[in-house]
Amino acid sequence: MPLATHGFDFGCMKHLFQFQPCSLQVFNMKFLGFPISNTCCNKILQFANTGCPPPLPYGLFMQSKNSCVQNSTPLPSQPPPLFRPPSPPSRPVPPSPPQPHCNPSTNVPQNYTGKYCNLESCITEMIDFYGKVCPVISKPCCEFISKVVENCPDQDGKLTQRSYEYCKNLKN
């Protein structure tokens, strides 16, 4: 026994689903004055030629259709083919530029005693990291920066804080 369709055309349902993403653009055109994209204009004009009932109130659909006709080039008489010939082979991707050369600090105090709030021994690494010359801070400097910032509340500049955040995340 055939499925009763009650006069509903399932071909129209296909067109309705293809049109559905464009509904928001139609409402934005009507109420906010935004243009409708070429992709949605193509779908609106294709839908208008299907013989299916409009997917929106008739006046709104016709307004969007008229807007598309005024602002677009005519559609080709046939939709593009589903098969696309293979594209020519692409060129090899050029090698990425070499990573920046980072100079780790050599005179980082090993045993921080909490007496000094001076980050001078790691300042070059911090500046290179902050200025994006070098993408990392060495582990010895990270340990030193963390200890100094945790013991010296006056170390709150952008350079110090960005370096400290990097080092804190490195530990996790």
Question: 80-101 pLDDT, tens per residue?
Answer: 555 556 666 666 666 655 555 6
Predicted TM-score (pTM) above 0.75:
no
What whole-number distance in Å separates Cα of residue 138 and Cα of residue 106?
Answer: 10
Whether residue 18 is predicted with pLDDT greater than 70 in this model: the reply is yes
Question: Which residues, 6+ apart, have CB-to-CB distance to 89 below 8 Å?
Answer: none
What whole-number distance in Å separates Cα of residue 9 and Cα of residue 99?
Answer: 61
pLDDT band for 127, please (50, 70, 90 cuts). Answer: confident
Q: Is 40 exposed, middle or buried (0-12, 13-18, 19+ CB in 10 A)?
A: buried
